[in-house]
């Protein structure tokens, strides 16, 4: 009987394993393809991370290719009957997500598997995603006869500024500074795109850290270690070297032309990241104070109200910036060079 079991078990296991993996891949492909073509695209990195730790990194790479191909096929019928500009915009957006979100997510997957710090993973993903945006723009200009995603985004920004101007006039306000505002909004279109990618990775990492599959992966890797989730939003702490980017971007008002545009976009992105860190600090305060659900809801409503008055963004950015010098989440001075905290 022992010999029979020894002979039968190796023959049965591979078939079950392959079948289960094939079914999992099919499910991942369908779900991720739907993310590509819907508002759930913010969770594409989480889907890739989840596939990578459950089936393997090669499977995650295959998933990205299959899901992107399925999304392209989904767009095809609509692209046939739409204008060339509309079709180019859809496929350009798909290519941008593939290059600026999907590929960076797979590149930082080993860091996520090691449980590296939230801020470090986020920054590496953004740094890797920026070249993807540039490649997407150049590819669409060549392949789509000069179509520019950047120009399309600028057009949308102008429309939004026009809507804002109409609301200001309706409320009895003045439009004296509208030209200056419109100029800088158009100038910062690349930063808005990068900030959108940052939100995608923040949402995905927070969601991924709450999944049971990641906790099981940690237990298998280090069975004797306590499970610490570095991907809770309150643990977001950016690397200290981001201060150099802040200084570089801060001199943009003294420049002109293309250097000014590059510096301004760097500054806008860095300030947005420090805003996120400020929100993470605020979240950590609520957790440390033991505030319940209703108290947290009230606190976030206050932050939202102050946000539109420009008060909370300023205070949160300052808190995020100076957290590089003071550990606000522990109320003490930093005496080490750790880039973020996990607790």
pLDDT of residue 5: 39
**Between 221 and 97, whose confidence is greater?**
97
DSSP strands (E only) in the chain: 326-327, 332-333
Q: What percent of the chain is predicted at pLDDT more than 70?
A: 84
Say if 5 falls within a structural domain: no
Q: Can you give the pLDDT at residue 1?
A: 40
Of 178, 205, 231, the residue that ends a domain is 231
Q: Are residues 145 and 101 in the same domain?
A: yes
Do 184 and 269 share a structural domain? no
How many angstroms separate the CA atoms of 197 and 237, rounded? 17
**Could you tell me the residue range of the domain that residue 337 belongs to?**
237-343
* pTM score: 0.84
Q: What would the pLDDT profile of 254-290 be if each residue is shown by its tens digit? A: 878 888 889 999 999 999 999 999 999 988 888 888 8
Both 116 and 87 in a single domain?
A: yes
Q: What is the CA radius of gyration of the chain?
A: 23
Residue 4 resides in a domain: no
Q: Is 160's pLDDT higher than 50?
A: yes
Token pair belonging to 6: 């020894």
Cα separation values, 250 from 128, 255, 273, 325, Å: 22, 10, 15, 18
SS3 302: helix
Cβ pair 63, 106 in contact under 8 A: no
Q: Same structural domain for residues 155 and 223? A: yes
- Residue 139 buriedness (CB in 10 A; 0-12 / 13-18 / 19+): middle
Cβ atoms of 263 and 303 within 8 Å: the answer is no
Task: Give the 3-state secondary structure of residue 145.
Answer: coil
Q: Is residue 3 part of a domain?
A: no
């Amino acid at each position: 009987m022992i010999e029979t079991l020894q002979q039968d078990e190796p023959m049965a296991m591979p078939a079950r394993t392959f079948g289960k993996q094939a079914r999992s891949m099919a499910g991942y492909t369908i779900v991720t393809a739907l993310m590509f073509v819907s508002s759930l695209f913010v969770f594409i990195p989480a889907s890739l991370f989840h596939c990578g730790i459950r089936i393997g990194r090669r499977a995650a790479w295959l998933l990205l290719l299959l899901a992107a191909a399925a999304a392209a096929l989904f767009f095809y019928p609509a692209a046939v009957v739409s204008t060339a500009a509309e079709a180019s915009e859809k496929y350009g957006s798909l290519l941008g997500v593939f290059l600026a979100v999907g590929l960076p997510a797979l590149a930082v997957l080993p860091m996520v598997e090691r449980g590296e710090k939230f801020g470090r993973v986020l920054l590496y993903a953004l740094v890797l995603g920026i070249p993807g945006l540039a490649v997407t723009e150049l590819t669409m200009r060549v392949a789509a006869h000069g179509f520019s995603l950047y120009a399309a985004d600028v057009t949308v920004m102008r429309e939004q500024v026009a809507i804002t101007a109409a609301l200001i006039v309706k409320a009895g306000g003045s439009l004296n500074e509208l030209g200056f505002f419109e100029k800088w909004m158009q100038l910062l279109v690349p930063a808005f795109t990068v900030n959108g990618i940052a939100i995608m990775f923040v949402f995905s990492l927070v969601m991924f850290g709450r999944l049971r599959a990641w906790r099981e992966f940690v237990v298998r890797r280090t069975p004797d270690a306590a499970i610490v989730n570095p991907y809770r939003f309150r643990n977001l702490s950016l690397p200290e070297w981001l201060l150099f980017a802040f200084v570089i971007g801060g001199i943009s008002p003294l420049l002109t032309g293309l250097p000014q545009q590059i510096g301004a976009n760097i500054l806008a992105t860095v300030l947005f990241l420090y805003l996120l860190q400020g929100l993470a600090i605020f979240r950590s305060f609520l957790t440390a104070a033991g505030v319940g659900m209703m108290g947290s809801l009230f606190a976030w409503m206050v932050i939202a109200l102050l946000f539109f008055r420009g008060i909370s963004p300023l205070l949160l950015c300052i808190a995020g910036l100076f957290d590089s010098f003071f550990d606000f989440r522990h109320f003490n001075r930093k005496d080490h060079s750790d880039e973020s905290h996990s607790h």
